[in-house]
C-alpha cells in the first residue's frame, strides 16, 4: 500500500472513530438524562394513592399541590381499559400518552402521545379496584438537550475533520507529492539507462522532500556528467587507437598485395609495425593508469620528501643525458603526504616531456620548494615552449600541441607520444587534492609544476 493510501485510510479511520465516539457521548448523555427522569418518576410513584390524591387536589385548583406537579401527567386506567386524565403538564395541557396495554409491572417505558410530536416516560402504579394510576413525564426537554449536544459535537467534528484535512493536504503537498514526482523521475532515469539528465521540481529545501529532491538532482547531474565523460573517454581512446591500427592494417595489406618486394622494404615495414604496436601498448597502459587514478582511495599515502624525489630524478637524468646541464633547486621543508610511486610517475612524465620538447644539450632545472602550506615541485626546460592559446588544453586527454613547427622546434625529431602523459599527471595530482599548472614562453621554454599540501617537516612513523 502506498504511503498516500495509508494516510488516507488512517485519516478516514480517525474521522469515523471520532464520529462514533461523539455519537456515543451524546447517547450516553441522553441515557443519563432519561435515567434522571425515571428516578423522578419512581420518587413520584412510591405511593400511587397519595399521588392521585395530590393530583385531584391540584386539578381542583389547590395551588400548593399544583406547584408540586407542574410537569407531570397523571391519569387513571380503569379496569375496563379506559384512561381518564386527572392532570396534565402546564406546558402541554393536551398531553395524553398512547398506551399499548403492556405497561403493567414493566417499570418506566417510553411512549408516544396522542397526536404525536413528543414522547413521554411512563409508569403504571396499581390502585385499588383493578385500577392503575398512569404517571408520565415528557422527554421533550431531554430530546432537545440531546439534539443540541449532537449539533455541538457535529460542529466540533467538522472542525476536527477540517484540521485533519488541512494537515493531510500539507503533508501530501510537502512530503508525498514530491516523493511521487521523484519516483517517476527516477523511473524515467532508469528507463533511459541513466543518460537522461532528468531534473525534478524541488520543494522547500527546509523539508526532507526538498532536500531529497536537491540530492536527486545533483545525483542525476553527476551521473549524466559521468556517463558523458565515459562516452567521450571511450570515443577518444578508440579514435587514438584507430590511427596505429590503420597503419598496421596498411602494412599487412601492402605485404599481402606483394607491395613489399625487397627484404629492406619488409624490414622497414616490420620496424614501423613494431613502433606502432609499441605505441598502442603505451596508450593502453596509460589508459589503464588513468582509469585507476579516478579512485583516490587507491592511493597509498606516506610521508615523501619531494626534494629527495627530484634529486633522484636529476641523477637518473644526468646518467641518461650526460650532455645536459641538470640543475636542482631545493628550499625549505619539502615533505608531503603522498603516494610515492604515483608522485614519482607524475614527475617522471614532466621530466620526460622536458627532455622530449627541448633541444639536446639544453639545460633542465628541477626544483622543490615550500610555498606557505604547500610544497611545489617544478620542471623547467629551455625548449620550444607552448603557445598561450594551447596552454589551457595541454593537460587534456590526448591533447598534443599541433603548432609545434610554428613554435620553431624540429617537429619530425619528436617521437609521437600518447598525449596522455599530462592527463595522467593531472589525475595523480587531483587524486592527492593538489594543484598543477604550467608557465610557458614560446621559443624560450616551459615550467610545469605541481603542488601538494606540506606535511610539517617531521616524518611520522609509517603506519
Ligand atoms: N615541456 C614541454 N614543452 C613544450 N611542450 C610540451 C611540454 N610538455 C608537454 N608539451 C605539450 O603538451 C602535449 C601533451 O603532453 P603529454 O600529455 O605528455 O603528451 P605526449 O608527450 O604524449 O605528446 C605534448 O604533445 C606537447 O605538445
Ligand atoms: Mg609526454
Provide the CATH number for the domain around residue 389: 3.30.565.10
Question: Considering only CA atoms, which residue is closest to atom 18 of ligand 1?
Answer: 421
Whether residue 299 is predicted with pLDDT greater than 50 in this model: the reply is yes
Q: Does 93 fall in a domain? A: yes
313 CA distance to ligand 2 centroid (A)? 16
Whether residue 249 is predicted with pLDDT greater than 90 in this model: the reply is yes
Question: Considering only CA atoms, which residue is closest to atom 21 of ligand 1?
Answer: 417
pLDDT at 415 (0 to 100): 55
453 CA distance to ligand 2 centroid (A)? 25
Residue 273 or residue 243, greater confidence: 273
**One domain, residues 335 and 267:** no
Which ligand 1 atom is the nearest neighbour of the CA of 407?
A: 4
pLDDT band at 192 (very low <50, low <70, confident <90, very high): confident
Mean pLDDT of the chain: 88
Rounded CA gap, 85 and 187, in Å? 83
Angle at CA 385, nearest 5°, toward 381 and 388? 140
pLDDT, tens only, 378-396: 999 999 999 999 999 999 9
400 CA distance to ligand 1 centroid (A)? 6
Q: Does 250 fall in a domain? A: yes
Q: Does 153 fall in a domain? A: no
**One domain, residues 437 and 307:** yes
**One domain, residues 59 and 80:** yes
**One domain, residues 316 and 424:** yes
Q: Which of 93, 124, 145 is the last residue in one of the domains?
A: 145
**DSSP secondary structure letter of residue 411:** G
**One domain, residues 119 and 248:** no
**One domain, residues 71 and 116:** yes
Q: Does 190 fall in a domain? A: no
The percentage of residues in the chain with a pLDDT greater than 90, rounded to a whole number, is 55
pLDDT at 198 (0 to 100): 82
pLDDT, tens only, 275-285: 999 989 989 99
pLDDT at 412 (0 to 100): 43
**One domain, residues 231 and 363:** no
Rounded CA gap, 11 and 305, in Å? 68
pLDDT, tens only, 31-72: 999 999 999 999 888 887 888 888 888 888 888 877 888 889
Query: Closest Cα to residue 85, out of 120, 109, 37, 117?
Result: 120
Whether residue 413 is predicted with pLDDT greater than 50 in this model: the reply is no
Whether residue 229 is predicted with pLDDT greater than 90 in this model: the reply is no
State the CATH number of the domain containing residue 264.
Answer: 1.10.287.130
In the chain, the number of structural domains is 3
Q: Does 154 fall in a domain? A: no
331 CA distance to ligand 2 centroid (A)? 27
Which residues form the pocket of ligand 1, taking CB atoms under 6 Å from any ligand atom? 353-354, 357, 381, 383-386, 394, 399-401, 417-423, 446
Burial letters 219-248, b for 16+ CB under 10 A, else e: ebeeebeeeeeeeebeebbeebeeebeebe
Q: Does 137 fall in a domain? A: yes
pLDDT at 406 (0 to 100): 44
Residue 314 or residue 58, greater confidence: 314
Nearest ligand, measured from the Cα of 282: 1
pLDDT at 128 (0 to 100): 83
Rounded CA gap, 234 and 205, in Å? 37
What 3-state DSSP class applies to 377? strand
Q: Which of 292, 327, 359 is the last residue in one of the domains?
A: 292
Nearest ligand, measured from the Cα of 399: 1
Q: Does 52 fall in a domain? A: yes
Ligand 1 pocket mutation pick from 286, 290, 324, 400 by most atoms within 8 angstroms of CB? 400
pLDDT, tens only, 93-120: 889 999 988 888 888 999 999 988 889 9
pLDDT band at 156 (very low <50, low <70, confident <90, very high): very high
| Strongest mean pLDDT among 38-47, 53-62, 231-240, 424-433 | 424-433
Ligand 1 pocket mutation pick from 324, 382, 401 by most atoms within 8 angstroms of CB? 401
Nearest ligand, measured from the Cα of 419: 1
What is the rounded average pLDDT of the residues 292-307?
87
User: What pairs with residue 454 in β-bridges?
Assistant: 336
**One domain, residues 260 and 332:** no
**One domain, residues 253 and 310:** no
175 CA distance to ligand 1 centroid (A)? 54
**One domain, residues 322 and 337:** yes
Q: Which of 102, 129, 145 is the last residue in one of the domains?
A: 145
Question: Considering only CA atoms, which residue is closest to atom 19 of ligand 1?
Answer: 419
Question: Considering only CA atoms, which residue is closest to atom 25 of ligand 1?
Answer: 400
The percentage of residues in the chain with a pLDDT greater than 70, rounded to a whole number, is 95
Ligand 1 pocket mutation pick from 278, 353, 366, 445 by most atoms within 8 angstroms of CB? 353
What is the rounded average pLDDT of the residues 424-451?
95
**One domain, residues 324 and 439:** yes
pLDDT band at 403 (very low <50, low <70, confident <90, very high): low
Angle at CA 319, nearest 5°, toward 313 and 321? 95
Which ligand 1 atom is the nearest neighbour of the CA of 420?
A: 17
Whether residue 408 is predicted with pLDDT greater than 60 in this model: the reply is no
Burial letters 408-439, b for 16+ CB under 10 A, else e: ebeeeeeeebbbbbbbbbbbbbebbebebebe
**One domain, residues 230 and 96:** no
For residues 366 and 305, the answer to whether their CB atoms sit within 8 Å is no
pTM of the entire predicted model: 0.60
What residue numbers bound the domain in which 270 lies?
208-292
Which ligand 1 atom is the nearest neighbour of the CA of 381?
A: 1
361 CA distance to ligand 2 centroid (A)? 19
Nearest ligand, measured from the Cα of 442: 1
429 CA distance to ligand 1 centroid (A)? 17
What is the rounded average pLDDT of the residues 360-386?
95
pLDDT at 240 (0 to 100): 86
381 CA distance to ligand 1 centroid (A)? 12
Which ligand 1 atom is the nearest neighbour of the CA of 401?
A: 27
What is the rounded average pLDDT of the residues 304-320?
96
pLDDT at 31 (0 to 100): 95
249 CA distance to ligand 2 centroid (A)? 26
Question: Considering only CA atoms, which residue is closest to atom 4 of ligand 1?
Answer: 385
What is the rounded average pLDDT of the residues 157-173?
91
Query: Closest Cα to residue 350, out of 452, 447, 443, 284?
Result: 447
39 CA distance to ligand 2 centroid (A)? 109
Note the Cα 140 to chain centre separation in Å: 61
pLDDT band at 236 (very low <50, low <70, confident <90, very high): confident
pLDDT at 203 (0 to 100): 73
Whether residue 153 is predicted with pLDDT greater than 50 in this model: the reply is yes
What is the rounded average pLDDT of the residues 82-89?
90
Rounded CA gap, 156 and 166, in Å? 15
Q: Does 178 fall in a domain? A: no
Amino acid at each position: 500500500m502506498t504511503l498516500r493510501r495509508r494516510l488516507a485510510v488512517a485519516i478516514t479511520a480517525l474521522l469515523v472513530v471520532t464520529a462514533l465516539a461523539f455519537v456515543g457521548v451524546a447517547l450516553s448523555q441522553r441515557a443519563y438524562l432519561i435515567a434522571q427522569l425515571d428516578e423522578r418518576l419512581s420518587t413520584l410513584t412510591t405511593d400511587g394513592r397519595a399521588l392521585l390524591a395530590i393530583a385531584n387536589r391540584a386539578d381542583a385548583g389547590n395551588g400548593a399541590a399544583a406547584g408540586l406537579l407542574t410537569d407531570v401527567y397523571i391519569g387513571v386506567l380503569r379496569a375496563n381499559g379506559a384512561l381518564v386524565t386527572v392532570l396534565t403538564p402546564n406546558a402541554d395541557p393536551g398531553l395524553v400518552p398512547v398506551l399499548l396495554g403492556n405497561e403493567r409491572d414493566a417499570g418506566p417505558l417510553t411512549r408516544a402521545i396522542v397526536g404525536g410530536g413528543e414522547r413521554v416516560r411512563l409508569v403504571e402504579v396499581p390502585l385499588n379496584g383493578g385500577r392503575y394510576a398512569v404517571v408520565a413525564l415528557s422527554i421533550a426537554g431531554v430530546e432537545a438537550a440531546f439534539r443540541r449536544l449532537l449539533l455541538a459535537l457535529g460542529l466540533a467534528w467538522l472542525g476536527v475533520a477540517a484540521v485533519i484535512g488541512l494537515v493531510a493536504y500539507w503533508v501530501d503537498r510537502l512530503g508525498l507529492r514530491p516523493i511521487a514526482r521523484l519516483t517517476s523521475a527516477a523511473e524515467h532515469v532508469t528507463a533511459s539507462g541513466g543518460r537522461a539528465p532528468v531534473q525534478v521540481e524541488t520543494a522547500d529545501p527546509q523539508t526532507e522532500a526538498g532536500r531529497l529532491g536537491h540530492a536527486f538532482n545533483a545525483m542525476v547531474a553527476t551521473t549524466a556528467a559521468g556517463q558523458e565523460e565515459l562516452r567521450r573517454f571511450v570515443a577518444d581512446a578508440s579514435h587514438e587507437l584507430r590511427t596505429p591500427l590503420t597503419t598496421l592494417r596498411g602494412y599487412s595489406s601492402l605485404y599481402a598485395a606483394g607491395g613489399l618486394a625487397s627484404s629492406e622494404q619488409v624490414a622497414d615495414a616490420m620496424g614501423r609495425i613494431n613502433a606502432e604496436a609499441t605505441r598502442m601498448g603505451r596508450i593502453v597502459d596509460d589508459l589503464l593508469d588513468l582509469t585507476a587514478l579516478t579512485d583516490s582511495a587507491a592511493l597509498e599515502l606516506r610521508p615523501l620528501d619531494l626534494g629527495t624525489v627530484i634529486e633522484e630524478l636529476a641523477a637518473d637524468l644526468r646518467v641518461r643525458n650526460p650532455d645536459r646541464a641538470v640543475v636542482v633547486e631545493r628550499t625549505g621543508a619539502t615533505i608531503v603526504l603522498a603516494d610515492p610511486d604515483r608522485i614519482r610517475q607524475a614527475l617522471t612524465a614532466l621530466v620526460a616531456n622536458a627532455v622530449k620538447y627541448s633541444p639536446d644539450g639544453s639545460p633542465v632545472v628541477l626544483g622543490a620548494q615550500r610555498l606557505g602550506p604547500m610544497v611545489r615541485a617544478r620542471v623547467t626546460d629551455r625548449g620550444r615552449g607552448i603557445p598561450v592559446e594551447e596552454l589551457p588544453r595541454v593537460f587534456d586527454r590526448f591533447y598534443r600541441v599541433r603548432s609545434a613547427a610554428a613554435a620553431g622546434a624540429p617537429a619530425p625529431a619528436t617521437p609521437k607520444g600518447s598525449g596522455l602523459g599530462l592527463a595522467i599527471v593531472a589525475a595523480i595530482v587531483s587524486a592527492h587534492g593538489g594543484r598543477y599548472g604550467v608557465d610557458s614562453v614560446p621559443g624560450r621554454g616551459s615550467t610545469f609544476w605541481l603542488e601538494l599540501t606540506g606535511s610539517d617537516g617531521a616524518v611520522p612513523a609509517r603506519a
